Structure formats: C-alpha cells, structure tokens
C-alpha cells in the first residue's frame, strides 16, 4: 500500500511537472528552429532568430522602454508607499483605517479596468498616449502592493528603536536615514523587486496607454499578429532567461538573509 502510494505520488507529480514545463520547453526548443515556422519537425539548432531579435530596433528599444518604465515607476511606487506607510505606522491620524483602505483598494481591481479608467481621464485632460501615461498606470497598480508590504513590516519593535534614537537626540531626518531605512531595507527591496517584475510583465495598461514608443510585452503582442513565428519564440526565451536569472538572484539574497 505504501509503495503503491509513493508510486502514485511520483507519477502524479511528474505529470504536473510535465504539464507545467511543456509550453516553456516547446517555446525554447523552437526558438532554435532554422526554418520559418516554430512547429514540428525541429530543424535547428540555429541562432538566426536570436540574431533577428537583437537586430530588430523596435524590439530592442521596447526592451529599454520596459526597463526604464519598470525602474522609474517602481521607484516612485516604493517612495510613495514607504513614506505613507511610515506616516501611518508612526502617527495616529483620524480616519487612518479608511485612508489605508483607500490606498490598497486598487489591488482588487483588474488591470484592464484601471487602464481603461486612466485612458478615459487622460483623454479628458488631453494627455497624449505615451510611456509616461503607462508609467503612471504602473505606479497605480504597484503603490498598494509596496504600501501593504512595507506597512505590514513596521511593527512596535521598530517604533521603539526609533524612539530610542530620538531620545538620544537624533533629528527626524537622522532617524529616517540612520534607523528606519536600514531596518526596513528588506521590505523595501522586496517591494521594489516585486513592483519591477509586475511592471516589466504588464501588458494591458501599456497597450491602452501607449502609442508609438511602447513596452516589450506590447511589442511582443504586435509580433503575435503575424501568427506563429520563431522570432517570437526567441524574444520570449530571452525574457524567460532574464527573469529566471533575476529570480535566482532574489532567491540567493533571501537565502543568505534567512539565518539572521
């Protein structure tokens, strides 16, 4: 019975792993296709589609746009989230619960609806579709996340350390720079990393709010219009590789921090 159970478990787990990895393996394998269609039989390996991606100025500029939007919008979201979390955690404010609820509310709304709402008001005030508009949208989706993560990590323990610093004569500014920021660093880093991941991968808001200069997911979407294409495989595999490396780096940082 026990052996049978182990056997069944192993079989089931392998089947699920197979299901999870099937599309990724197919994506990467057929990015190495040497002919024009990413379908069997496999004709590679060849790197011609990777060359095609790197020589496509639309894709490379979309890559830089995506990086810039992810970095800048995440920094803004983390800054706004940190400063407001600090305010709410340190001071008793009337209506605090309500205001905190308001800041986290966008978490429950789909990106499509957030993007559409922004499109409506940007149309009204005459802000053209561009990367700035998309960046504003990315701050809207990431601010609640950054706020929630950082706020949840601001406990009484930290308040007491800050109070001690103040008693010892530190100014507000010194407390912030020398005490709060160093203590909160893990939460800040985690929210920055998560924000950048979400912004980097975000499609629908960028799709609605940009026109000519756009982000990588939108440019990949445009590639899809030409049907199945090994070039899409190649750019998809590159994005995957970058994300996996980022995930490994994060994992290593988290692992190193855990003993403390």
Partner 1 sequence: MNELSKIDRALPWMLVTPALLWTLLFFVAPFVAMALLSLNFQAEGGMTVSNYSQFFTNPSYYRAMINSLEVTGMVTLISVLLAYPFAWILAEQIPPRLQRLALLLAILPFWTSYVVRSYSWLLVLAQNGVVNDALLRTGLLTDPLQLANTRTATIIGFVHFFVMLLTLTIFASLKQLNPSYRKAAADLGAGPIRTFIHVVLPLTIPGVVVGAFLTFVLAIGDYITPQILGGNNELLMPQLIMMQIGRRGDFPLASALALILMAMVTIAYIACARWLKIERT
Q: Per rule CB under 8 A, is residue 206 in the interface with partner 1?
A: no
Q: Per rule CB under 8 A, is residue 4 in the interface with partner 1?
A: no
| Largest Cα span, the chain | 73
Q: Per rule CB under 8 A, is residue 30 in the interface with partner 1?
A: yes
Cβ atoms of 31 and 48 within 8 Å: the answer is no
Q: Per rule CB under 8 A, is residue 181 in the interface with partner 1?
A: no
Handedness of CA 116, 122, 126, 127 (dihedral sign): negative
Q: How far is the CB of 184 from partner 1 (least distance, A)?
A: 14
Which among 246, 243, 201 is positioned nearest to 28, based on CA atoms? 243
Q: Per rule CB under 8 A, is residue 50 in the interface with partner 1?
A: no
Give the span between the Cα atoms of 88 and 91, in whole angstroms. Answer: 6
Q: How far is the CB of 79 from partner 1 (least distance, A)?
A: 8
Among 4, 57, 121, 156, binds partner 1 (CB under 8 A): 121
Instruction: Spell out the residues 6+ positions from residue 113 whose beta carbon is closer than 8 angstroms to its own.
Output: none
- Near partner 1 in 57-116, by CB under 8 A: 80-81, 83-84, 86-88, 90-91, 93, 99, 102-103, 105-106, 108-114, 116
Q: How many CA atoms lie within 13 A of 24 on its CB side?
A: 10
122 to 151: interface string for partner 1, x by CB under 8 A? -xx-----------xx-xx--x---x----
Give the span between the Cα atoms of 69 and 208, in whole angstroms. Answer: 15
Task: Give kind and range of the element (H or E) at residue 163.
Answer: helix 156-167
Among 120, 256, 259, 260, binds partner 1 (CB under 8 A): 120
- CA–CA distance from 152 to each of 88, 105, 141, 227 (Å)? 11, 16, 18, 45
Q: Per rule CB under 8 A, is residue 40 in the interface with partner 1?
A: yes
Q: How far is the CB of 145 from partner 1 (least distance, A)?
A: 12
Among 181, 224, 249, 252, binds partner 1 (CB under 8 A): 224
The residue range among 43-51, 160-168, 185-193, 213-221 that interacts with partner 1, by the rule CB under 8 A, is: 213-221
């Amino acid at each position: 019975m026990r052996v049978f159970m182990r056997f069944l478990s192993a079989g089931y787990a392998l089947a699920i792993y197979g299901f999870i990895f099937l599309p990724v393996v197919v994506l990467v394998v057929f990015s190495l296709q040497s002919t024009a269609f990413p379908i069997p039989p496999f004709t590679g390996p060849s790197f011609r589609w990777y060359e095609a991606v790197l020589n496509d100025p639309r894709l490379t500029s979309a890559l830089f746009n995506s990086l810039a939007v992810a970095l800048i919008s995440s920094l803004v979201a983390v800054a706004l989230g940190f400063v407001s979390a600090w305010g709410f955690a340190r001071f008793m404010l009337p209506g605090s619960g309500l205001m905190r609820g308001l800041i986290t509310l966008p978490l429950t709304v789909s990106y499509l609806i957030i993007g559409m709402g922004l499109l409506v008001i940007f149309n009204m005030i005459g802000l053209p579709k561009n990367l700035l508009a998309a960046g504003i949208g990315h701050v809207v989706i990431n601010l609640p996340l950054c706020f929630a993560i950082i706020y949840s990590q601001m406990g009484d323990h930290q308040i007491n350390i800050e109070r001690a610093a103040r008693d010892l004569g530190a100014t507000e500014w010194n407390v912030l720079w020398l005490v709060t920021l160093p203590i909160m660093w893990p939460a800040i880093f985690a929210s920055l990393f998560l924000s950048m991941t979400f912004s980097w991968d975000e499609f629908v808001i960028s799709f609605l709010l940009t026109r000519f200069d756009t982000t990588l997911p939108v440019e990949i979407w445009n590639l899809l219009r030409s049907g199945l294409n090994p070039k899409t495989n190649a750019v998809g595999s590159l994005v995957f590789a970058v994300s996996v490396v980022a995930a490994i780096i994060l994992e290593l940082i988290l692992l190193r921090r855990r003993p403390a």
